[in-house]
């Protein structure tokens, strides 16, 4: 069908896109959120758009950014004006603006430290969201599209409601388990517009809920895989926001994350990994877990399911930090299987990469997983993924029994996982294994394609007649 030339011109025009988020993988991050913000913004910039990332000026972020001061954004709080300094730099074609307020962000840790989450997180991120909203609507950035990531940026959506012309607002859910909700009584300390304090605004079950506010006011809602988008519509998947998400179902779409590959694929290095782990190379598969040690990630299933495989000649390495009871259980597993299990209790992206390149199987037994990047990294480096079939894991891994390249199980139980581990042990060393490895390595895609999908979505909003 012929496209009128005027329309073609509109569609081809570069957009001014502002991502607002709490993490960036090169500057300050704790997990997949930062990887996505970085990969997506760089790909959109490479495609010719004018892309800005607005981030909190954490201590570690400012140390890495090495940016220049470009004035300030003043946010009116009930006790007076709070000054956020704008520190700017350009990274891989993306304009990075860090909003720095030392009282809230010049500390060790992003959201908390060894004593737990920071008690002032609500006010920190409300104030950050207010400064970010002012910035992206202002003359300097003047975004066509404001893309908000997770609860930290959710309040930007209602804050832009009265701005004219109003930018398109896209809210991405990376993980609905975190909403940033806090007591209604704190509303007065936040300086949010009083008109937003109602159940179709920032209130949810009598609490202020930043993620809900984002979902309520955004023009479109996205999440990071098609299967998770469907799961979000169920009571179990969408939790207490399922009703709102069902109501906005027409505006919800799942776009699978890409993989931001920073290092080229190297040789497989199983022996080197075994040496480093002080394990003698096993006859069976070398299993690995690289994960936050949390309930969501199903680490307890792994701990319960893996012993029979270890007894039959497999070995395992685990890298991660998190819940104390899982840490203790992994230490016990290591003691019970000397020379067969190695547990590294820290967060180390380089070691993670070496594990993906050395392990035979990387296990991701998550109870829920919006997308999951671990299985993609594992596949890229030639380790087969063993996953629970949920969220983005279901969208990226096909079982070897269906001519795929991984091992899938459905029920969130140790016995279902043990069965998958056993299937991996049986297949290990066969020709079929090699074919699966080749297929796995060919699968992960970069960011160009998903970045285009987001841009198509942005354009649909920008070109909507109702857009201000
Ligand atoms: C969150 C999700 C994870 C997803 C990541 C990036 O960390 O738990 O599944 O891959 O965000 O979108």
* pLDDT of amino acid 210: 97
Per-domain boundaries in the chain = 4-259+448-467, 270-442
Q: How far is CA 443 from CA 40, 327, 372, in A?
A: 18, 32, 14
Q: Do domains 4-259+448-467 and 270-442 have the same CATH topology?
A: yes
Domain 4-259+448-467: give its CATH superfamily.
Glycogen Phosphorylase B; (3.40.50.2000)
CA separation for the pair 222, 405 (Å, rounded): 28
Q: Tell me if the pTM is above 0.85.
A: yes
Task: Indicate whether residue 37 lines ligand 1 (CB < 6 A).
Answer: no
How many other C-beta atoms can be found within 10 angstroms of the C-beta atom of residue 313? 13
Task: Indicate whether residue 174 lines ligand 1 (CB < 6 A).
Answer: yes
pLDDT for 131-160, tens place per residue? 999 999 999 999 999 999 999 999 999 999
**Which three-class secondary structure state does DSSP give residue 173?**
strand
Task: Indicate whether residue 377 lines ligand 1 (CB < 6 A).
Answer: no
Spacing, Cα 154 to ligand 1 middle (Å): 16
Q: Kindly report the protein residue whose alpha carbon is nearest to atom 7 of ligand 1.
A: 32
Confidence of residue 189 (pLDDT cuts 50, 70, 90): confident
Q: What is the rounded average pLDDT for all residues in the chain?
A: 94
CATH architecture of 270-442: 3-Layer(aba) Sandwich (3.40)
* pLDDT of amino acid 12: 66
Q: Kindly report the protein residue whose alpha carbon is nearest to atom 12 of ligand 1.
A: 174
pLDDT for 86-123, tens place per residue? 999 999 999 999 999 999 999 999 999 888 899 999 99
Beta bridge partners of 287: 316, 361
Task: Indicate whether residue 436 lines ligand 1 (CB < 6 A).
Answer: no
Spacing, Cα 75 to ligand 1 middle (Å): 31
**Which three-class secondary structure state does DSSP give residue 403?**
coil
CA separation for the pair 37, 107 (Å, rounded): 22
* pLDDT of amino acid 205: 93
Beta bridge partners of 455: none
Ligand 1 mutation target, pool 172, 373, 377, most atoms within 8 A of CB: 373
Residue 290 near residue 258, CB atoms below 8 Å: no
Spacing, Cα 176 to ligand 1 middle (Å): 10
Residue 193 scores a pLDDT above 60:
yes
Mean pLDDT value across residues 8-12 = 47
Closest atom of ligand 1 relative to the 370 alpha carbon: 9
Task: Indicate whether residue 32 lines ligand 1 (CB < 6 A).
Answer: yes
Closest atom of ligand 1 relative to the 172 alpha carbon: 12
Spacing, Cα 37 to ligand 1 middle (Å): 11
* pLDDT of amino acid 192: 85
Alpha carbons within 13 A on the beta-carbon side of 71: 5
pLDDT for 268-306, tens place per residue? 999 999 999 999 999 999 999 999 999 999 999 999 999
Spacing, Cα 372 to ligand 1 middle (Å): 5
């Amino acid at each position: 069908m012929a496209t009128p030339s005027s329309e073609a011109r509109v569609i081809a025009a570069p957009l001014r896109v502002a991502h607002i988020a709490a993490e960036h993988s090169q500057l300050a991050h704790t997990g997949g959120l930062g990887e996505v913000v970085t990969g997506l913004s760089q790909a959109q910039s490479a495609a010719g758009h004018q892309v800005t990332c607005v981030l909190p000026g954490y201590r570690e972020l400012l140390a890495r950014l090495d940016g220049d001061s470009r004035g300030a954004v003043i946010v009116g709080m009930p006790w007076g004006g709070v000054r956020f300094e704008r520190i700017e730099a350009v990274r891989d074609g993306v304009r990075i603006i860090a909003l720095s307020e030392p009282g809230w962000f010049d500390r060790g840790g992003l959201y908390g430290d060894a004593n737990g989450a920071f008690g002032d997180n609500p006010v920190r991120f409300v104030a950050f969201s207010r400064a970010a909203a002012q910035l992206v609507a202002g003359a300097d950035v003047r975004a066509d599209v404001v893309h908000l990531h997770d609860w930290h940026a959710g309040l930007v959506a209602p804050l832009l409601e009265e701005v004219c012309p109003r930018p398109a607002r896209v809210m991405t859910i990376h993980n609905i388990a975190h909403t940033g909700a806090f007591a209604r009584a704190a509303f007065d300390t936040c300086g949010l517009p009083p008109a937003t304090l109602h159940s179709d605004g920032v209130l949810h079950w009598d609490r202020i809920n930043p993620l809900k506010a984002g979902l309520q006011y955004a023009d479109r809602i996205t999440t990071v895989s098609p299967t998770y988008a469907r799961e979000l519509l169920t009571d179990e998947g969408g939790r207490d926001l399922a009703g709102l998400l069902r109501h906005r179902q027409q505006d919800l779409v799942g776009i699978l994350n890409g993989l931001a590959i920073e290092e080229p694929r190297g040789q497989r290095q199983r022996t080197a990994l075994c040496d480093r782990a002080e394990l003698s190379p096993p006859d069976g598969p070398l299993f690995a877990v690289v994960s936050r040690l949390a309930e969501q990630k199903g680490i307890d299933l792994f701990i319960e399911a893996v012993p029979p495989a270890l007894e039959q000649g497999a070995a395992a390495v685990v890298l991660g930090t998190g819940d104390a009871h899982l840490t203790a259980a992994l230490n016990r597993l290591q003691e019970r299987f000397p020379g067969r299990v190695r547990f590294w209790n820290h967060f180390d992206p380089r070691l993670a990469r070496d594990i993906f390149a050395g392990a035979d199987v990387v296990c991701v037994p998550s109870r829920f997983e919006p997308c999951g990047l671990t299985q993609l990294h594992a596949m890229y480096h030639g380790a087969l993924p063993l996953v629970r079939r949920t969220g983005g894991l279901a969208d990226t891994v096909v079982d070897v029994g269906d001519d795929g390249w991984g091992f899938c199980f459905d029920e969130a139980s140790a016995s279902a996982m043990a069965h998958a581990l056993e299937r991996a042990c049986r297949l290990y060393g066969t020709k079929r294994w090699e074919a699966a490895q080749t297929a796995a390595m060919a699968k992960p895609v970069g960011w160009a394609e998903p970045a285009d999908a987001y841009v198509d979505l942005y354009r649909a909003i920008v070109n909507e007649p109702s857009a201000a």
